[in-house]
Structure 1
Amino acid sequence: MKTLVIAEKPSVAASLAKVLNATQKTRHYYSGAQYIVTWALGHLLTLKMPEDYKPAWQKWTLTDLPLMPKKMQIKPLPKTRAQLKAIAGLVKRSDVKQAVIATDAGREGELVARWILDYLKFNKPVKRLWISSQTDKAIRSGFAHLKPSHDYDQLYAAAQARAEADWLVGLNVTRALTVKYQDSLSAGRVQTPTLGLVATQAAKIQQFKPQTYYSLTLQTKSGVAQLADNPHLSAAAAQKKQQQLQQSVYAVKAVKEKQKRQKAPLPYDLTELQKVANQRYQFSAKKTLAALQNLYERYKVVTYPRTDSKYLTQDLKATMPERLAAISGYVPEAKPLAAKKAPVVQKRVFNDAKVTDHYGLIPTEQMPQPALFANDERKIYDLIVARFIGLFLPDYQETQYTYQLDDDFVLKQTQVTQAGFKVGVNATKTVKPLSIGTKLSGTVRLNKELTQAPKPLSEATLLVQMEKQGLGTPATRAEIIEKLVTSGLMVRTGTHLEVTPKGKQLLKLVNPRLTTPGLTAKWEQQLQQIERGELVKAQFIHQIKLATTDLVQEVKRSTAAYKDFNLTTKVCPKCGAKLRQKQTRQGVLLVCSNQNCNYYRRRDPKVTNHRCPQCHKKMVLLTGEHGRYFKCIHCNITEKVGAAKGKGKAKMNRHETRRLLKKVNQEDAPGESALAQALKTAMAQKKS
């Protein structure tokens, strides 16, 4: 008897196979005496497209909308069909008696495996592995405590509901907008209200009118004193007040002393980690998640990344000394704590009631090998470790002194009495408290200031707003932001986000219900109710269909004008329509604006890896009357492709090879394996 284990990615399958002694490796799985370990490549299946239900739906027309299949069905993704076929062969084996779902322990992970088992009509017992770290110890413990898969049926229902809702809303509204306005306009259940948040903040900034105001401060040797309530004064009132306060000595009339205590912060959840990494290092949410995923999967030094909890379960208390010992060689502050087996001081972190599917981000028992970490990975790991060490340190304490001076001036001083978890705070600097009657010499200064406009949303503040408004989940927010950027609806400007002219128009073309968070937040709450068994999936989908119909009808009835800012004056040589600029990873393309024409070309010449024989800079690839040729834009030297060394197949340099390998190892594409994507890119380079 053998157990078939389905992991989400090849790297995770390798870790599982090692622990389960499945040492015989083939192209599609690992095999051992008791276990066969195989993997998906992200999703192997997807919801069918409209034309799969009805051939007539392949053509984009307003009359067919909204598209409402009677029953949503799934189909294989073509680029990962070989892996699905291999799994199909494994489930039919007579020696396979049961399966274990070992995909990511979350909503999407459940969907990956369940779709595979449902599509292949697997009718044998199925169990679920639910772990929060990828260490050998966690894997062994997880397999010793497998749960029946039906315990997660509601989670699967919620995952199906999310996928179907995104299909119904996103596909129908996107088709309606694209056909109506003859431009690629992408709308979605979550991405459109997210775009609305950025636009709303921009509108507040645009409407803001700065106001000049004046304030008075008293400069003393013991610090700067403010007027009580620090009022905003007019120029005349401030000058008059300053003239009244021309005395040079101010006495202390009253003293207030307050003890302040601050506990160490709880471990990060994913959203807060992405926020801090963006503020401190300007990392995008996607970049933070990618680094974190490597720390979890490849190095096994942190717990499950896609968590929305900052608390730990009670059963983790016993593991804390081992985790502390694992990082003691990496962080000097951890060494003395590990040596004396320090207990966790911040005991509030252990709260089972506040842990959802996964607990907060903390180090595992695996000893880190920092020499293997990339720079980004090290920064993310350092943030997690610093929070973890704080749990073993006492509270930060300070004494705050507030002095009431003559003429309603207030002076404040702070003395750190215990640095606690803020080990970098200088606690040696002492403050000499002032007593009642102490006289201070000082000068009253008039300060001219402006009221400050609201700041545009950065990725960090957008993540906070998305969490507050209930838009998306920790697992999906980074992807949503990236989709808005790649679809040309939003751009990164320095450290801030900005809605493009195309994005601004999109927000005016759809119903306000889809541009504000309320409706989408309600849907997300209902998905969580499905997870908890409090709502039936069919009821949720019925609401989605009604909302989709309304949204599509609004687009059909709309008389709003649309201007395509990406349309150029260049003409398509095939049909005569104007060409539209489209930003891609390979540069800017000129694409025919006619929906029924497939013509496109590069706007700028393609830069190749072929080097100029004179200046050794990269040459561009052009096409002339006699075929393709290389040209150096610096020296104007030309060279025929056939005459070039290697017949035009430019050799990749060290940096480009590294980028290709990074794509192969990324293994994070939902619809297509990273290997397939990388090979496709490599083949495209060879063809050029």
Structure 2
Amino acid sequence: MGILNKFLEKTKICVIAEKYSVAVEYAKALGCSKKDTYFEGDKYVILWTNGHICTLYQPEDYDEKFKIWKVEDLPIIPNGFWIKVRPGKGQILNSIKKIIERQEITAVCIATDSAREGNLIGEYTLMAIENKKNVYRAMINALNEKEIKAGFKNMKEDKYYKNMTLAAQARDEIDWLLGTNLSRAYSVIYGKKYYVGRCKTVLLNLLCKREEEINNFKQSLSYGVITKFKNDNCEYAGRLNYALKSESEARSIVKDICNKQGKIDSIDRDIKSIEPESLYNLNDLIRAVNRRYGYAADEVYDIAQKLYEEHKLISYARTDSRYIKKSMINDVKLIVNCINIDKFSMKKSDINNIERFIKRCVNDEKVIEHTAIIPLEVESLEEKYKLLSTKEKNVYDVIVENFLNNFLENYEYESIAFLTKVENYTFITRQNKVITHGWKERKKQDKNIVEVKEGEYVNVEDSVVEKKLSKPKERYTDDTLFEVLENPAKFVEDTKLKKILRESGIGTNATRALLLKDLIINGYVTRQQKYIIPTIPGIELVKDIRTDKLLEPFFTAVIEQQLQQIQDGELDKDELIKDTIKFLERHIEELKSIVIPDKNNDPIGKCPICKRGNIVRAKDKGYGCTNLKSTGCRFFISKEILGTYIDEKQVKNLIEEKQTDVLRFKGSKGEFSARIIWNGNKTQFKKF
């Protein structure tokens, strides 16, 4: 039994779980029965924290003067970080302290979530009660009896996880320093309630940049020609292989090739082989479910946690790995056998060996804390599956499908492109011919593949002019946003930074959904159907930020990399804290030198209605006339119109030039491009 042999028969270990539901599963596996506020058996007493019991002191806990936000008090740098009990958590902490102080309790086992934050919960809890007893750590990958027993059998002294705990503390302290000081600094200087964070403002800036690109997009119109060809053996369509600037030019080509004969000039064939997606980590699962069902990131996060903790149908959900360990291969065979849900019967019937799965999915070096998300071997799976909600079934299905796909052959097809020349014009035709469906779902009928030969002649049957309106980039969905958050390397040119961003990204798999949710709660971001869009307060916050380090991904990615270095024992925690403090001190000094003009009183232009008043900012609502109170002039432009931010430049254009730039708006029937026009009496849209 390893460590357990060190303890006498009548001694017990106090186990700290993170949630009651997890404690219940530990109790079942370890033979413990329910008491008052804990479970107890011959060897273990199990308690739970219900999340974080303790947190870092707030500034006012160090000194009451910090209750009032003043720039001159910044930066606030504690002489060591202190922790306190969260409101409403005192009783839980006292219960844990009382149990641990029992004479027969000779050691404590932290069995919280098997990652940095779980370590932090355990560390802060034991610090708060000033624990003096030996501490061990159990890492649990799945909440079934086999994995739980294995986790406790293989628990290690906490010294083996010291660096992980230091990384967690560093993350907490850095985010406290940046969030506390910068939120206060920007709020006081700009006279607004701002919440600034290391990752949040970077994420928000991505959304604001995309919105700006869309609003500044200039739509263009181009033309093409699509021609239908036919002979005795085949019939197909081809598209002119370049775009045209005018409709007249397109119609001239249609006229030129009418009733003419074409010749198939060249045929290019290329075999494509597409592997299934790797086993999912949490980021992949969020993206896959959002693509298929449109569920929001935090919703997928919560459902995955329920499938793991409550239903015990999947492995640990908040993982960043896409692989499993070699030691799990026999378990994998059992998992496949237990999946007896009808909708997966065809995929299961196509599985003929496990070697393909092993080659794709087994890599011990790429499993650090947890494996990829996979279904678990479960008795009576069909009955348990029926009890799931529709959304839980959908997320579970995506996980099972991804798992089974990795046993199947690649999807292979032949990519065919051929040219048809008519007079001096060239038309291109593309088609894909399926060779092996493999993991990809079979469609009822593949598109008809046209068989042609090089040098073959065809007749022009018909031609039509095609109009093409250019489109702006699409707004971010959870799928596309989380793709960028995981790998934001394309936003930087520096090779070294690209490498860091590929390895670290913005936030972690366990925090990205919560970061986005927090931005929505604070009113900086909103959802419109499937899209994630910055609000006016969000856009204003990004405009007011005075350093790229809080807007671009490299700063937070470097910190994430350094946190990993602390966890790997390659960097001293204090070095990272010192560097963060140096940045804070420099940046806050820069902020203190800023003089913010009172924009509410700066005239943007003369009122187009009364001709006497000035148009100024009307607090946070928009722009109005200074003669509102004296003469009742009612001129007003909202700061947001149909989801589009109207800034001072556009208001000035409207007043002086009677129209704004072309902007993108979100109407009831979808997005459209338009100018806002002033017709002398009121504003109206001029669509494009």
Residue 484 (structure 1) aligns with = 519
Moved more, 416-425 or 196-205: 416-425
1:580-595 matches, within 5 Å, as: none
1:279-298 matches, within 5 Å, as: 279-298=291-310
Residue 683 (structure 1) aligns with = none
Residue 482 (structure 2) aligns with = 463
Aligned-pair identity in percent equals 30
CA distance in 1, matches of 2:226, 2:581: 61
Checking the alignment, whether the CA contact within 8 Å between 1:321 and 1:342 is kept in structure 2 is: no
1:454 corresponds to which letter in structure 2?
K
1:382, CA displacement in angstroms?
A: 0.8
What secondary structure does 1:63 align onto? helix
Residue 391 (structure 1) aligns with = 406
Residue 251 (structure 1) aligns with = 263
What secondary structure does 1:78 align onto? coil
CA distance in 2, matches of 1:415, 1:277: 28
Establish whether residue 522 from structure 1 lines up as the match of residue 558 from structure 2: yes
Match of 1:345 among 327, 347, 356: 356
Establish whether residue 418 from structure 1 lines up as the match of residue 453 from structure 2: no
1:233, CA displacement in angstroms?
A: 4.1
Match of 1:542 among 572, 575, 578: 578
Checking the alignment, whether the CA contact within 8 Å between 1:324 and 1:334 is kept in structure 2 is: no
CA distance in 2, matches of 1:322, 1:115: 39
2:57 corresponds to which letter in structure 1?
K
1:409, CA displacement in angstroms?
A: 2.0
CA distance in 2, matches of 1:151, 1:476: 24
CA distance in 2, matches of 1:388, 1:94: 48
What secondary structure does 2:356 align onto? coil
CA distance in 1, matches of 2:446, 2:258: 36
CA distance in 2, matches of 1:103, 1:453: 46
1:24, CA displacement in angstroms?
A: 3.2
Match of 2:452 among 434, 437, 460: 434
Checking the alignment, whether the CA contact within 8 Å between 1:260 and 1:397 is kept in structure 2 is: yes
What secondary structure does 2:76 align onto? coil
Establish whether residue 12 from structure 1 lines up as the match of residue 22 from structure 2: yes
1:503-652 matches, within 5 Å, as: 503-513=538-548, 514-561=550-597, 565=620
Residue 41 (structure 2) aligns with = 32
Checking the alignment, whether the CA contact within 8 Å between 1:9 and 1:42 is kept in structure 2 is: yes
What secondary structure does 1:79 align onto? coil
Distance 1:431 1:510, change over 3 A: closer
Size of the aligned set, in residue pairs, is: 566
CA distance in 2, matches of 1:243, 1:319: 68
Checking the alignment, whether the CA contact within 8 Å between 2:140 and 2:151 is kept in structure 1 is: yes
Checking the alignment, whether the CA contact within 8 Å between 1:308 and 1:358 is kept in structure 2 is: yes
1:224, CA displacement in angstroms?
A: 2.5
1:508, CA displacement in angstroms?
A: 2.2
Residue 223 (structure 1) aligns with = 236
Residue 471 (structure 2) aligns with = 452
1:341, CA displacement in angstroms?
A: 7.3
What secondary structure does 2:225 align onto? strand
Moved more, 126-135 or 293-302: 126-135
CA distance in 1, matches of 2:111, 2:295: 30
1:277, CA displacement in angstroms?
A: 2.0
1:633-672 matches, within 5 Å, as: none
What secondary structure does 1:199 align onto? helix
CA distance in 2, matches of 1:500, 1:280: 26
Checking the alignment, whether the CA contact within 8 Å between 1:510 and 1:555 is kept in structure 2 is: no
Residue 642 (structure 1) aligns with = none
Unaligned residue ranges in structure 1 (runs of 5+): 570-688
Distance 1:567 1:381, change over 3 A: same
Structural RMSD (CA): 2.3
What secondary structure does 2:398 align onto? helix
2:511 corresponds to which letter in structure 1?
T
1:431 corresponds to which letter in structure 2?
I
Checking the alignment, whether the CA contact within 8 Å between 1:327 and 1:334 is kept in structure 2 is: no
1:378, CA displacement in angstroms?
A: 1.1
Checking the alignment, whether the CA contact within 8 Å between 1:329 and 1:335 is kept in structure 2 is: no
Match of 1:495 among 525, 530, 542: 530
CA distance in 2, matches of 1:446, 1:429: 24
Moved more, 251-260 or 2-11: 251-260
CA distance in 1, matches of 2:201, 2:446: 52
1:225 corresponds to which letter in structure 2?
G
Checking the alignment, whether the CA contact within 8 Å between 1:510 and 1:551 is kept in structure 2 is: no
Checking the alignment, whether the CA contact within 8 Å between 1:9 and 1:40 is kept in structure 2 is: yes
Residue 312 (structure 1) aligns with = 324
Moved more, 230-239 or 550-559: 230-239
1:343, CA displacement in angstroms?
A: 2.1
Checking the alignment, whether the CA contact within 8 Å between 1:417 and 1:427 is kept in structure 2 is: no
1:136-285 matches, within 5 Å, as: 136-220=145-229, 222-228=235-241, 230-285=242-297
CA distance in 1, matches of 2:103, 2:346: 52
Match of 1:360 among 368, 372, 375: 372
What secondary structure does 1:12 align onto? helix
Distance 1:329 1:246, change over 3 A: closer
CA distance in 1, matches of 2:589, 2:528: 35
TM-score by length of structure 2 reads 0.78
Distance 1:211 1:525, change over 3 A: same
Checking the alignment, whether the CA contact within 8 Å between 2:112 and 2:122 is kept in structure 1 is: yes
Match of 1:89 among 92, 98, 101: 98
Checking the alignment, whether the CA contact within 8 Å between 2:415 and 2:431 is kept in structure 1 is: yes
